[in-house]
Amino acid sequence: MNPKESDPSEAFRLLPGVDEVLRLARVLEIAARSSSREVTSLVRRALEALRSEIAEGGLDAAALTERLAGDELAERVEALFAADRKLGVLPAINATGVVLHTGLGRAPVHPEVAERMAEVARSYCVLEVERASGMRNRRDDRLSELLSRVTGCEAAIAVNNNAAAVFLCLNTFASGGEGIVSRGELVEIGGSFRVPDVMTRAGVSLHEVGTTNRTRIADYRSAISEKSGILLKVHTSNFRVVGFTEEVSMEELAELGSEMGVTSAFDLGSGLIELEGSAPLDMLGGETRVREAVQSGLDVVSFSGDKLFGGPQAGLIVGRKGKIEALRQNPIYRALRLDKTSLRGLEVTLQMLLDGRGDEVPTRRMMHLTADELKSVAEELAAGIDGLPGLSAECSADSSQPGSGSAPHIFLDTWVVRVRHDSLSPDALGRRLRMGEPILFTRIAEDALVCDPRTLLGDDARGLLQAFAAIQDRPSQRSKCH
């Protein structure tokens, strides 16, 4: 390399101007699909990247001349254009076996629910108007009626998630006062959601009672004062204390709250609903049912719409009519209320439950799949993957989990496909599948990449095979089950 070629000033002089790049045929094609302002910005960014490379000594005049001759600038502009249009929320195949996978959007809704949500998303709809009179009314009256029928509550209200539901209850009934909570239920769940922090933000002072492993009703009673605004019971999600334990029942808390004039509330978390006509989710063991919580006499019970309920994201609050009306009158409710598409999705999901079609709800269907049913799917997948270039596959017995803090102690019998690659580690193979098309998420165990068919939907099995087919390498051995 001679001095002239290594001189960065020479390379800088070779860079074309913005107008020159804008006249390139491939850039003009982009301009036809975008605004001139955006394309100009893309060109400037592409040129700035080259300037930075030159300044850092990674690109001399000779190399730059070669790149420019090969349409590199147009390619950079195309890549930037594609990257700017890439969406963050993308469809993905869940082969992890975790039914309510927080990272993958929790509960997928039934196709009928999705279509009915899309109907109101793409059009005007009857939302806050009464059809007969044409007068304004409340957007969630029908939802409240359906939830009352499903859970046995007097009234109901919905906000954007269960964290918002808990916040609204705390702020409504105990702002400026105290909230009494067992030390064993002061948990932190995903996303750094800590019960004490939420109470503080809601304007409520925390009054802890009992110990981590044992809390009695007498602890609550002795803590009640004129400052007490709420007796809060919290589902502990993935955290569980076993052994020498004692906790206050819903009935005891409800009775004490009624006696002392303090609101009793239960953050139920996942929200398991059982109805006639749908097979019970007995595999979830002692997970509290929403109707049980309502029948216990508690004033308000909150739970998630996108967990065991199987609907769109929401925080559902059911309970006594007077308490629900107090929540509705809180100005903060307007900041937390649901949009029209989520309301529609909840209504359709509830109607499916009432019509005896609960087993069609994807989360419930996945929970009910037996190991024998899953084995046949695993065998087909293993046969389809094994023999692809570089891949070997075998299927074996394993276990799935509900996920999202729902019944963390419960494991569901399943069959999985264990995949290995001749040259890629399980981590590298998993990353390639996540970055491919279709997007495929799996899990890793025992030095193998694991695919659990429990969480596959519709044509996902075909998409899973397509994802593996895109991994190019040499042939491998036959599949086997053991």
Q: Which part of the chain has CATH 3.40.640.10?
A: 111-358
Q: Give the span between the Cα atoms of 274 and 356, in whole angstroms.
A: 10
Q: Give the span between the Cα atoms of 341 and 128, in whole angstroms.
A: 13
* DSSP conformation class of 331: T
Q: Give the span between the Cα atoms of 457 and 292, in whole angstroms.
A: 31
* DSSP conformation class of 136: B
With 0-12 / 13-18 / 19 or more C-beta atoms within 10 angstroms meaning exposed / middle / buried, residue 301 is buried
Beta strands in 211-289 (DSSP E): 228-234, 263-269
The residue assigned the tokens 């074996």 is: 396
Transcribe 77-106 into DSSP letters: HHHHHHHHT--SS---EE-S-BTT-GGGTS
Which amino acid is present at 47?
A: L
pTM of the model: 0.85
Classified as helix, coil or strand, 164 is helix
Which helix (H) or strand (E) segment holds residue 433: the answer is helix 426-435
**What tens-digit pLDDT sequence spans the chain (482 residues)?**
444 446 788 889 989 999 999 999 999 999 999 999 999 999 999 999 999 989 888 888 888 888 888 788 899 999 999 888 888 899 999 999 999 999 999 999 999 999 999 999 999 999 999 999 999 999 999 999 999 999 999 999 999 999 999 999 999 999 999 999 999 888 776 666 788 899 999 999 999 999 888 899 999 999 999 999 999 999 876 666 676 778 889 999 999 999 999 999 999 988 888 877 677 787 777 788 999 999 999 999 999 999 999 999 999 999 999 999 999 999 999 999 999 999 999 999 999 999 999 999 999 999 999 999 999 999 999 999 998 999 999 999 999 988 876 666 788 999 999 999 999 999 999 999 999 999 999 999 989 999 999 999 999 999 999 999 998 643 444 445 55
Quick one: fold of 367-481?
A: Aspartate Aminotransferase, domain 1 (3.90.1150)
Q: Give the span between the Cα atoms of 48 and 60, in whole angstroms.
A: 15
Torsion angles phi and psi, residue 345, rounded to 5:
-65, -40
Neighbours of 82 (CB within 10 A): 10
Q: Which residues contact 82 (CB under 8 A, 6 or more apart)?
A: none
Q: Give the span between the Cα atoms of 330 and 299, in whole angstroms.
A: 17
Q: Contact 397/482 with Cβ under 8 angstroms?
A: no
CATH number of 111-358: 3.40.640.10
The pair of three-digit structure tokens given for residue 178, joined into one six-digit string? 């105290």
Neighbours of 36 (CB within 10 A): 9
Q: Which part of the chain has CATH 3.90.1150.180?
A: 367-481
Torsion angles phi and psi, residue 159, rounded to 5:
-130, -175
Instruction: Classify the C-alpha dihedral 40-41-42-47 as positive or negative.
Output: positive
Which amino acid is present at 458?
A: G
Q: Give the span between the Cα atoms of 156 and 162, in whole angstroms.
A: 13
Torsion angles phi and psi, residue 278, rounded to 5:
-120, 140
